Structure 1
């Protein structure tokens, strides 16, 4: 099982000015989708943890639909603070879940994927109300022994970044933590929002924040009061289910930095003989 975890596409309508930093977000999102589709081995699914659109306009979601329709694997979408629920559902009506929220629970072989809607329209922070939390509890109770991933845009933990922490998941975070603690089948919380790769062991489960495939936030800790971007390479996460290890997560850059080349050590490397023996054994398996 291989899961491509993308986030924060910020797709903009054709002809509109580029986003902050003069970034063509739509072109970068398309490049990321192409990168994932051409991977070998190909991922079994793609999940996108919010900020699908930059301004939540219907035209932006129409572009998203065009970009995702031809992908050779299932794509699961969660909403972020830049999204507008009504406009998203106008283009993706099949994504409407209980209570009108964009929430879902899907089965993939022996893995379940639950998507949560943390959007508070008009706000940067996230919320899980009692109705949304009840949906999660019900889904988890259905299959308590099946490994489960939970998707949500807003990370539920603080990382020490001032204004960034002020716009995380606020309302419902404590209750979510209690649910996670009580449900050991939850093996990952997959988040977005911060435009950086961040990981936190939270209530016994790894909360994994994907970087953005279009722009990176500058790493700032302490009393941060201004959002800043930095020209780091766009990236995404790849979560690979390894039988003896469980899910193993990797950061993958969208851009091509040239072909891979063999790592040939210096002849004086003390473990050269051991390395040759081990690589020969690996090749024979």
Structure 2
């Protein structure tokens, strides 16, 4: 199975601009999923779907997603507003007042988790959400499972965007998934950069944003001393492709922009391809 991911879309950052920069970047990612060589069977939109939580932006988001022929599964982030999101996407399941649900995928499971606390930038995960997630994991202990959420529970090293490992929500989330060995990966957004890190025995994959990125600066930051570092930069719109097979879960990160092709699979390259394939076990 091939799963696409787009995150941190921030539609409506320019609310009165019909040619909004963030919408143009989203459209490029949607176009890649539609017309690229790797066409996902479903797409995950992992939070900060819009910038101000307003209904008009959610409507424009729905319009953009309608171009895709495959299902789009949404999670919410700290820029989202649950009530407004659900007014435009009423088919999205909820549990205990949160936007969290399970999707069964022919012997595999996706669990979408809600880490939003409205008014807070960082993540949140209360005891109600923790109990719900633990119960869902107990339902299918032998089914390979991937958890989808906006905020990564791991400290990534970009100081002003970090999740602190001692935050209470991180401890609650860790307890909720502890001992559930069917969890193969956590898919997140929020940091606006492509990042992969181990955490409590699980791989955390953070997709880069379709909106502009956070600058890659791993120095400590002093909240009392602005140092003119780059904070927001416009690299190419980011996306991820996750390949989920019986062998496991593999994440690929891409961006859309100018590229130079140095070789194509033609007759000149065919001997190399043949020799590399021939090195592999035949499976007989």
TM-score by length of 1: 0.86
Matched with 1:8 is 8
Matched with 1:267 is none
- Provide, for residues 222-262 of structure 1, a one-character-per-residue CA deviation record: whole Å limited to 9, x for no partner: 32257711232221111112444x11111112235365733
In structure 2, the residue corresponding to 1:131 is in which secondary structure? helix
The Cα shift of 1:172 comes to 2.0
Q: 1:4 to 1:57 in 2, by over 3 A?
A: same
Q: After superposition, where does 1:229-244 map in structure 2 within 5 Å?
A: 229-244=232-247
Matched with 2:52 is 55
- Separation in 2 of the partners of 1:122 and 1:204? 31
The Cα shift of 1:31 comes to 1.5
Q: After superposition, where does 1:63-74 map in structure 2 within 5 Å?
A: 63-74=60-71
Q: After superposition, where does 1:171-250 map in structure 2 within 5 Å?
A: 171-225=168-222, 228-244=231-247, 246-250=248-252
Matched with 1:278 is 276
Q: 1:39 to 1:101 in 2, by over 3 A?
A: same
CA contact (8 A) 1:154 1:168 kept: no
CA contact (8 A) 2:186 2:203 kept: yes
CA contact (8 A) 1:180 1:205 kept: no
- Separation in 2 of the partners of 1:11 and 1:168? 30
Matched with 2:76 is 79
RMSD: 3.0
User: Paired residue for 1:136, among 133, 137, 144?
Assistant: 133
Matched with 2:259 is 257
Q: What runs of 5+ residues in structure 1 fail to find an aligned partner?
A: 265-272
CA contact (8 A) 2:9 2:211 kept: yes
- Separation in 2 of the partners of 1:168 and 1:197? 20
- Separation in 1 of the partners of 2:69 and 2:137? 28
In structure 1, the residue corresponding to 2:162 is in which secondary structure? helix
CA contact (8 A) 1:9 1:53 kept: yes
In structure 2, the residue corresponding to 1:174 is in which secondary structure? helix
Q: What runs of 5+ residues in structure 2 fail to find an aligned partner?
A: 224-229
